[in-house]
Amino acid sequence: MQFAPLYPILYRVLKPCFPGCLWSAPTERTATDRSSSVALTFDDGPHPEYTPALLEELDSLAVPATFFCLGRSVSRHPQWVRAIDRGGHGLGLHGYEHRSFPSLGRDRLQESLARTRSAIARACGWDLEQVARRVRDVRPPNGVFTPQVLRWLREWNYRPVMWSVVPEDWCEPGVSVVVERVLAQVTDGSVIVLHDGYYGGRDVVATVAALVPQLRDRGYQFCLIDEFWSRWETARDRRS
């Protein structure tokens, strides 16, 4: 069963209830910066076939993206994590396995995130201090979290990242359907979720190839999640 029509409603309900998560970027602009931007994000990789093809497509389009990786996949395919980093893309955590965070409990969740960081550190040749500084963003599998999970993430100095546009590409409804869903929902500051793993990854290159030119035609630029956090922090400071 597909739930694509429900995700825009969930976003509008949950975003104000959990303001400590990054759901989308604030849209405040300076007098000299009135451009619109979106963040392309990819979950569940790296995959040995889909991720390298996706990286090649992103490079050809000159589009930066943020990849929320599964630790087990990082351990199996470290070369593609290195390629993500060397391509100028962002890295985030999706847990070591695709398990609901609330089901893990405190200790197992902390271990899952730490193991994923360690796998990324080995893949990229970083020490643990570097990976702790550079990889702070966490997206819960299936978007499932509780207030307690968010408190733990903040306590451990992680940054929870959610979404505002979820076209449900993992159900493989077809490239044209995924693109239509994104274009119907996208606004300035949107965080778009696609997948380069076993579910959804088969169509990800074709989806990106079709989607990016249409977003550019609408005037959108592409940002990393880290840039959206900077905008979020600037907006917070203005309010305080």
Active-site residue (options: 137, 169, 195, 196): 195
**Pick from 159, 131, 166: which is nearest to 145 by CA?**
159
Burial class (CB in 10 A: 0-12, 13-18, 19+), 3: exposed
Q: How far apart are the first and last CA of the chain?
A: 43
Q: Is 43 a catalytic residue?
A: yes
Strand-pair partners of 90: 66
**Pick from 170, 195, 140, 175: which is nearest to 1 by CA?**
170
The reply to whether omega before 8 is within 30° of 0 (cis) is no
Give the Cα separation of 158 and 203 in Å (integer): 31
**Pick from 179, 40, 153, 151: which is nearest to 93 by CA?**
153
Q: Is 195 a catalytic residue?
A: yes
Instruction: Scan for tokens 């606004």, then name that residue.
Output: 187
Give the Cα separation of 12 and 10 in Å (integer): 5
Active-site residue (options: 43, 85, 196, 203): 43
Which bin fits 17, alpha (ψ -120 to 50), beta or left (φ > 0)?
Answer: alpha
Residues 193, 194, 196, 201: is their CA dihedral positive or negative? positive
Catalytic residues: 43, 195
